Amino acid sequence: MVLCSSLLFTVSLATAPPPMEPTAPCPAPACVQADDDPADLLEDIMDEYQEANAELGQNYRSADEEQRKQILEVDLPKLSETYAQRVLKLTSAHPGTDVAWEGLSWIVSRARGAACQADALLQMFKDFSKDERIGDTCLTVARGPFTKSTVRALNKLIKDSPHKDVRGRATFALAMQYKGLEDQKGFIKQMSLVQKKFADVPYTRGTLGPVAEGAMFEVQRLQIGMVAPDIAGADLQGVDFKLSDYLGKVVVIDFWGNW
């Protein structure tokens, strides 16, 4: 039980490097009973979730196709929602604390499909807008879900955050939100800002500059109906050729690898 919970904690921490720094004074030990320490309560909820999730996973492996659909589309979101609600209740009782940070991060990054995920995100942006760790949350937000309330929250974060890395990642997330919402103008405006002002901000691997360049290229040059940009290079035997050598033919371009 203890081992299991510490493992889970490692996982949730891994989504939020760098190491924890207290963002608000911890409650004085004297006024907290050992058995209702919010950190322990959160750990208990996560333990329970882990068990329920593992059980569902086991059911999934032995289920037929229809049951699998039921598990993926009904049971799993319901499970996420139930536990996300419990975590949200706990974090609301301890706003701005490390426990709140841990709990809200968990909902935002792990409880995919939970209806209260959006609430958790807005809460996080509100209570931790000055926190440097919120930059990691932005990278999660960049992958969706795409909503207007997320766009508003990101805009506010960009105004409020004193950290350049956070503003850069939030601007990148904002651009990706616009892309998801099919607002091409919004996307181009924000992604140009990333390129101009935040190219050196760290991304998961490397920096935002090349990522922004790729995303811009995709939106501006790789849409359906556009003439494909040419590719020039060597084949696997070292002979140079170009994609445009095949004009006049129907071409499937297959990005592949033997793995």
**Alpha-helical runs (H) found in 94-133:** 98-110, 117-127
Q: Restricting to residues 118-157, name those near other proteins by CB under 8 A.
A: none
Answer yes or no whether residue 257 interacts with other proteins by CB under 8 A.
yes
Q: Which stretch binds other proteins (CB under 8 A): 2-10, 45-53, 179-187, 247-255?
A: 247-255
Give residue for tokens 């181009």.
Answer: 188
Answer yes or no whether residue 200 interacts with other proteins by CB under 8 A.
no
Between CA 183 and CA 202 the distance in angstroms is 25
Q: How far is the CB of 224 from other proteins (least distance, A)?
A: 5
Please, which residues have CB within 8 angstroms of residue 79's CB and are 6 or more apart in sequence? 49, 52, 53, 56
Between CA 165 and CA 25 the distance in angstroms is 24
SS3 242: strand
SS3 207: strand
Site string for other proteins, 220-239 (x = CB under 8 A): --xxxxxxxx-x-xxxx---
Between CA 210 and CA 57 the distance in angstroms is 37
Answer yes or no whether residue 258 interacts with other proteins by CB under 8 A.
yes
Backbone phi and psi for residue 78, each to the nearest 5 degrees, phi listed first: -65, -40
Q: Taking the mean position of all CA atoms in its chain, how far away is CA 163?
A: 19
User: Closest CB to other proteins among 10 and 259?
Assistant: 259
Q: Which stretch binds other proteins (CB under 8 A): 7-15, 36-44, 162-170, 249-257?
A: 249-257
Residue 240: beta bridge partners? Answer: 234
Q: Which two tokens stand for residue 138?
A: 């932005």
User: Closest CB to other proteins among 58 and 246?
Assistant: 246
Answer yes or no whether residue 247 interacts with other proteins by CB under 8 A.
yes
Q: Which stretch binds other proteins (CB under 8 A): 57-65, 68-76, 178-186, 242-250?
A: 242-250
User: Closest CB to other proteins among 62 and 204?
Assistant: 204
Site string for other proteins, 28-57 (x = CB under 8 A): ------------------------------
List interacting residues with other proteins (CB under 8 A).
205, 210, 214-215, 217-218, 222-229, 231, 233-236, 241, 243-244, 246-259
